[in-house]
Structure 1
């Protein structure tokens, strides 16, 4: 496993990413097989292999985690960080806590802290995020670090976009961007709108690797809870596999050019896209919320094509007071934090009526107590 681990730890290596995705798939397959064949004579060896895979796929220790020579990992105190004043300002902001919950920043290095804060800003309203992003740049300049758009970690997607800058100077770290070139590395054609499904697939696969705060709420994988992906690697693998399967079915339906099949598969794909969530869910008009809404815009175009082909179609995104929409939803999930009491926090699956056949939507809502 030594060479596996070395390849996985090379930053920006496409070969390393391919190996990681392959190992995720192997892990999910073995977990499923372990469940289906509990009496197999290879069960114990399979369990040991799964433990090795789990260890192999864990993130590498950060540079701030230093071995003291006795096998113990020493984490320097937070007050040694150059950006500690930024940490304190961020953690104490009550408006941020409303949108992000009361969790404190966890990073132990300036580089990790910069990226953790910038990624959290992707989940709050864009105007608040813009003012806070400028504030982070100003506070970084106070200690001799400057915003740098030349060193970016590239996420594959259907367009180019700088999401947030990195830093150079006294603190050096990568920023984050969307990249068409990175998507083309997966040999994804960009000839039609349905490539958005593949764009989301590869974007999510990469984003899950760098964001420990992500959850999933995909009913076909787990119907009764919002599941953390960082601490549940088997759920992470199952979610990625489900998203990949829906992407493939969407693309196959598009090749067959049947408007109704395209619509049904895109409804499922849209559900998988919106089921990758934070806790509490990102605000609707945040960067993350607007990114996910791109699939809803495509869904509307697909629905319009089905209507023009003679089908009766109605699609409704569920929002507002939960009491007003609960008759149109099923198997909803409840949180006791985030947002406004009694309101829908995010619509996971849209309500649909196709040729008199109704299908309920699904939401995450804030409890009314």
Structure 2
């Protein structure tokens, strides 16, 4: 481990680059295999290896302050950090990246959490600042993330700045063992969410989770707490297999309950403050809720009394429908729900409370 890190830290070394790319490839391959084979006898050791890889691929220290002045995108950093509208959605934390490539990606990832119109304006501004530094927009230099469709999330850069972008890739999902041509479109959507969430957790250090079955008392950082990351992913995998089993049994109520649980897992992946509802992140998570409604409608068609409610608005108005809620002192409007982690539901004579993240009145 020591010698691996020493080689990785050598500047302008082709060997260091080769090692870094190889380790990232190994990490991605093991993560995908671990997801596809959750009951493999080597799963626990694999988790430990993934934690070691994650640690060794992280930078050991921040660059000195004067290095920031050398960045070609330093004007982008300054403008982004000083925008008061962005701080409403992203909080007051400043950009942390120490290279132009990382800075481009950090900015673009944060824009996925703000309202779409604000994101569009800032993407255009970021590209203009990058072009002023000699960079060129490159929509083909992108890292593929598995999902049920192809979609450019944000472009990369070439020219004076080499930075990869991100895209959703159906082919990357088709290549995963968890994908099945025999499964329903809804199940493959869940497989896409599972693989995409795992990839995004690795990419974005700002992600947290609120999954009650893993930790019920607080919003937990994933980047700095590898054990929370492992437990969250394991819980997501287990809920995926439960949905698959319920679907095979063709029991509409069993399927509905399993979908409520996995929808909770999907919406438990959050930022602080949480992503805005009409952001890229917010719209992506809503795709799960649309399928959940379809599953509920199917249960109703079998003469069941089913009601599903996504909770929003003033927390005081909906708190009687929830349990074990979590509060934050940032984001949104004081006293309002920030995000609905678990929907409120009534299934025949049973009432199942929802769960939300809300903004405190302080």
Q: TM class by shorter-chain length?
A: 0.7 to 0.9
Residue 189 of structure 2 corresponds to residue 189 of structure 1 = no
TM-aligned CA deviation for residue 56 of structure 1: 3.1
Residue 133 of structure 2 corresponds to residue 143 of structure 1 = yes
Alpha-carbon RMSD across the aligned residues, in angstroms, is: 2.7
Residue of structure 2 equivalent to 1:60: 57
TM-score, scaled relative to structure 2: 0.88
Residue 314 of structure 2 corresponds to residue 317 of structure 1 = no
Q: Give the counterpart of 1:113 among 99, 103, 114.
A: 103
Residue of structure 2 equivalent to 1:19: 30
Q: Secondary structure at the match of 2:97?
A: coil
Counterpart CA distance in 1 for 2:98 and 2:242 is 42
Q: Give the counterpart of 1:88 among 74, 78, 83.
A: 78
Counterpart CA distance in 2 for 1:289 and 1:243 is 19
- Unmatched 5+ stretches in structure 1: 31-48, 66-71
Q: Output one character per residue of 1:146-202: Cα deviation in whole Å (capped at 9) or x when no partner.
A: 111011111100000000000011101110000001111213025422211111000
Residue of structure 2 equivalent to 1:199: 192
Q: Secondary structure at the match of 2:55?
A: coil
**Structure 2 CA distance for partners of 1:23 and 1:313, relative to 1, 3 Å:** closer
Residue of structure 1 equivalent to 2:329: 336
Q: Secondary structure at the match of 2:105?
A: helix
The answer to whether the Cα contact below 8 Å between 2:32 and 2:176 also exists between their aligned partners in 1 is no
The number of residue pairs the alignment matches comes to 342
After superposing the two structures, state which structure 1 stretch, 335-344 or 187-196, moved more.
Answer: 187-196
Residue of structure 1 equivalent to 2:165: 175
Residue of structure 1 equivalent to 2:226: 233
The answer to whether the Cα contact below 8 Å between 1:110 and 1:171 also exists between their aligned partners in 2 is yes
The answer to whether the Cα contact below 8 Å between 1:201 and 1:243 also exists between their aligned partners in 2 is yes
The answer to whether the Cα contact below 8 Å between 1:350 and 1:361 also exists between their aligned partners in 2 is yes
- Unmatched 5+ stretches in structure 2: 9-15
Counterpart CA distance in 2 for 1:314 and 1:74 is 54
Residue of structure 2 equivalent to 1:305: 298
Counterpart CA distance in 1 for 2:53 and 2:167 is 27
TM-aligned CA deviation for residue 20 of structure 1: 4.1
Residue of structure 1 equivalent to 2:360: 367
Residue of structure 2 equivalent to 1:269: 262
**Structure 2 CA distance for partners of 1:317 and 1:189, relative to 1, 3 Å:** same
Q: Secondary structure at the match of 2:241?
A: helix
TM-score, scaled relative to structure 1: 0.86
Counterpart CA distance in 1 for 2:269 and 2:103 is 23
Residue of structure 2 equivalent to 1:209: 202
Q: Output one character per residue of 1:341-368: Cα deviation in whole Å (capped at 9) or x when no partner.
A: 0000000000000002001000000001
Q: Secondary structure at the match of 1:163?
A: strand
Residue of structure 2 equivalent to 1:46: none
Residue 270 of structure 2 corresponds to residue 283 of structure 1 = no
Residue of structure 1 equivalent to 2:238: 245
Counterpart CA distance in 2 for 1:120 and 1:305 is 37
TM-aligned CA deviation for residue 16 of structure 1: 3.8
Counterpart CA distance in 2 for 1:8 and 1:126 is 38
Q: Output one character per residue of 1:281-314: Cα deviation in whole Å (capped at 9) or x when no partner.
A: 0000000000000000000000000000111100
Counterpart CA distance in 2 for 1:215 and 1:236 is 9
Q: Secondary structure at the match of 2:185?
A: coil
TM-aligned CA deviation for residue 77 of structure 1: 1.8
Q: Secondary structure at the match of 1:320?
A: coil
TM-aligned CA deviation for residue 27 of structure 1: 10
